[in-house]
Structure 1
């Protein structure tokens, strides 16, 4: 998804609260996830400068905005968190008089359960979480979570797991035979034991995967399909696997904050990214699919048929659109996650 290296062209303001100014919009987004070319085009067409501040997890973003005084105008949360943002009144409804490209949202991404009718959000990009492997180091089956949870000798000490709880827990739960948001304590004990036993064989829990896989510093791990593709372009032995036991499918969404200081500019930006050519710029940069109709014709050739974007036919059913879990389930998963991070 995603996400951690500060965007080189993003202008970060010095103060902790980003100043409101005419001709400015302040975007709070996953790192390494926003096309500089697209931002330049937006500024050239509108005169509005985009300041980008990075976050490294959904929990970080939510906590920062809940505190107030942040100065951000737009945020890009994952779908499984979006209902929380909406229910807590942290987002404002889209102004359809400005967001006139709302109809460009692909039909399958329009009336979604996490934002029915897309009243508050628009698609940013969507993808999967799976297994990244350097096939020069490991030449076995890459479509298995055992690479991370029960690694072969050649991968021990060379594994990275992105520290995004919902993604990692989902893969571990599916691997243990459970379903998303399960409250089955037998399954959750198995998940806990599997993760704790596996961690000593991991090298890191880091978001900075592209450069580390490209350099050979990491040889396997849990990661996102777009980041894996970017690493493969730099190191052609890097491959992306879809765990046979199940893997998450997710969508990140752009929305305007209820306390945005530049709401009109924010709505203009939201409208801009719904133009097919502009949505394709986001995809061509971060290497994830987007949810805008007719954007495919603008995608770069190396995106067409890329294995990271093409789930093998026999594994399509293993992809599971993640959901927001009840608080009791979140608390249980958080307990396991906290122990894992110690």
Structure 2
């Protein structure tokens, strides 16, 4: 009987160890990465695991807010996360991040100066650049004359009735309406936000749908003439349909940054710094850029990309366009609520 019990105990211990190795819940050879969906080349994960012996668990989120809530609630020990700039600011304020140990990092000199020391994280105390991009307009030259859309106001033309798809994002959609009014995308003034929403209401007849990832499929399949979405999504659409083009209006747009950070829940620090240094390597960063389609902040990685990519002004825009674009700030909860409420009203009651 004792032997049978011992066998059961040993079997359970072996199974527990197997679970830790496959799920990476607590093992020292584990890295728990919390990332956007399809935002890293799976081949790089395999390469990292083979080179280092660490096992990488990847869990995904679909919004900065969902990521924030999950980490804040605890329960899962994420070692690395990939928030956007305004969310990094918010996580800092909430004491949810661990400062980087710069003595353990390599490859930081690979990044362009314009991607370091940003206002949301002075001195890059907490974050390492991962990808960057813009918000812009995608159009299909089967339905829209090339060059006909260059500015946000062009979207309001009656000729585009029921032709436009919008990404389901309050800050972005209210944001381009604010820019079209000559206002900041970080506006906190309630009457100005109401005016931006009122102008969006005038756009309603032109809006075919407000959706998320489905935009990529619809645009690739010629189901809509125009979309407003992020540059990386545009890149994926364009790779599947040669009739698509991407424009960042010269009057300004959103300039966004996604960075790697270490949440307070982190446990596996050797794996963390091994992974950060691995991703800072130009060859690995270039491979990741080729897979994901977003712009890399790693200048040495960019130099490894084909000329057709690194010289593409659609995704590496002129400095004059970048200078007019805005990085989102972390707004007060009351203001964020107003953005969300106004956007919900627009979606519910559009014509």
Q: Secondary structure of the residue that 1:290 maps to in structure 2?
A: coil
Is contact 1:133–1:221 with CA below 8 Å preserved after alignment?
A: yes
Give structure 1 stretches of 5+ with no counterpart: 1-12
Q: Where does residue 221 of structure 2 map in the other structure?
A: 215
Is 2:326 the counterpart of 1:299? no
Q: Secondary structure of the residue that 1:196 maps to in structure 2?
A: helix
CA deviation after TM superposition for structure 1 residue 207, in Å: 2.6
CA deviation after TM superposition for structure 1 residue 131, in Å: 0.8
Is 2:188 the counterpart of 1:183? yes
Q: Secondary structure of the residue that 2:344 maps to in structure 1?
A: helix
Q: Separation in 1 of the partners of 2:196 and 2:255?
A: 20
More divergent stretch after superposition (249-258 vs 181-190): 181-190
CA deviation after TM superposition for structure 1 residue 317, in Å: 4.6
More divergent stretch after superposition (305-314 vs 248-257): 305-314
Is contact 2:100–2:126 with CA below 8 Å preserved after alignment?
A: yes
Is 2:319 the counterpart of 1:286? no
CA deviation after TM superposition for structure 1 residue 297, in Å: 2.2
Is contact 1:30–1:56 with CA below 8 Å preserved after alignment?
A: yes
Instruction: For 1:130-145, list aligned pairs within 5 A.
Output: 130-139=136-145, 141-145=148-152
TM-score (norm: length of structure 1): 0.86
Shift in alpha-carbon separation, 1:214–1:187, aligned structure 2, 3 A: same
Q: Separation in 2 of the partners of 1:195 and 1:253?
A: 31
Is contact 1:276–1:294 with CA below 8 Å preserved after alignment?
A: yes
Is 2:19 the counterpart of 1:20? no
Is contact 1:177–1:187 with CA below 8 Å preserved after alignment?
A: no
1:17-46, CA deviations, whole angstroms, 9 ceiling, x for partnerless residues? 972223221211111221123222212211
The structure with the larger Rg is: 2
Instruction: For 1:254-269, list aligned pairs within 5 A.
Output: 254-269=260-275
Task: Looking at secondary structure, tell me which structure has more helix per residue.
Answer: 2
Shift in alpha-carbon separation, 1:175–1:275, aligned structure 2, 3 A: same
More divergent stretch after superposition (127-136 vs 262-271): 262-271
Task: Count residues with an aligned counterpart.
Answer: 326
Q: Where does residue 13 of structure 2 map in the other structure?
A: none
More divergent stretch after superposition (74-83 vs 258-267): 258-267
Alignment RMSD, CA only?
Answer: 2.5
Is contact 2:310–2:316 with CA below 8 Å preserved after alignment?
A: no
Is 2:235 the counterpart of 1:247? no
Give structure 2 stretches of 5+ with no counterpart: 1-18
Q: Separation in 2 of the partners of 1:219 and 1:56?
A: 25
Is contact 2:86–2:330 with CA below 8 Å preserved after alignment?
A: yes
Q: Where does residue 159 of structure 1 map in the other structure?
A: 164
Match of 2:177 among 143, 151, 172: 172
